[in-house]
Amino acid sequence: MSSDEYVTHLPRIDVAKEASASYRAMLLVSKASHDGIDPILAELIKIRASQINGCGFCIDMHATDARKHGEHERRIYALPAWRELSFYTARERAALALTEEGTLLADGGVSDETWAEAEKQFSQAELAQIIALIATINAWNRISVISRNQPPALGGAE
């Protein structure tokens, strides 16, 4: 791809303004989906789903939030290769596998093997919250990708 082929995408629509009731409801669902989940694990889930969905806005937001919670930059950078590295705990691996399969439903849904491993690592209440979190971040990804929501500009960058 030549540099001429890269296009700056301008936002299409302000969903928060034009569908304010739906947007507010999404914010409430999003807040509720975090209950009882470790904040770093929640951010890893949101980053990984956003990477799969190609949502730059959400990748930027949740990587920033993960760093605020104390997440190490190397683990954020390496997240697409989580299976290959020892950086991630068994709980994180189970949640990331569930996130990937729960995000890529058209590829066959969540396998019995992935679910069994998740059940070993999490209580039923935690699993329910993780499912809600996966569903919520996938909804946010769709809102942001469709509307071409953009993260804040880099300092000094155009």
Tell me, what's the pLDDT at 57? 94
Tell me, what's the pLDDT at 149? 85
Domain hosting 133: range is 19-147
Is residue 122, in this structure, part of any structural domain at all?
Answer: yes
Q: Does the pLDDT of residue 89 top 80, yes or no?
A: yes
* pTM, 2 dp: 0.90
**Token pair of 21 as six digits:** 């009731």
Is residue 67, in this structure, part of any structural domain at all?
Answer: yes
Is residue 4, in this structure, part of any structural domain at all?
Answer: no
Contact call for residues 26 and 139 (beta carbons, < 8 A): yes
Q: Name the domain count of the chain.
A: 1
Radius of gyration of the chain (CA): 16
d(CA 127, CA 151): 30
Share of the chain above pLDDT 90, in %: 80
Q: Does the pLDDT of residue 4 top 60, yes or no?
A: no
Domain with 33 in it: what CATH number?
1.20.1290.10
Tracing tokens 């299409």 back to the chain, one arrives at 12
Is residue 84, in this structure, part of any structural domain at all?
Answer: yes
Is residue 115, in this structure, part of any structural domain at all?
Answer: yes
**8-57 tens-digit pLDDT:** 678 888 888 888 999 999 999 999 999 999 999 999 999 999 999 999 99
Is residue 157, in this structure, part of any structural domain at all?
Answer: no
d(CA 145, CA 139): 10
Contacts of 135 (CB under 8 A, 6+ apart): 33, 102
Is residue 11, in this structure, part of any structural domain at all?
Answer: no
Is residue 155, in this structure, part of any structural domain at all?
Answer: no
Mean pLDDT of the chain: 92
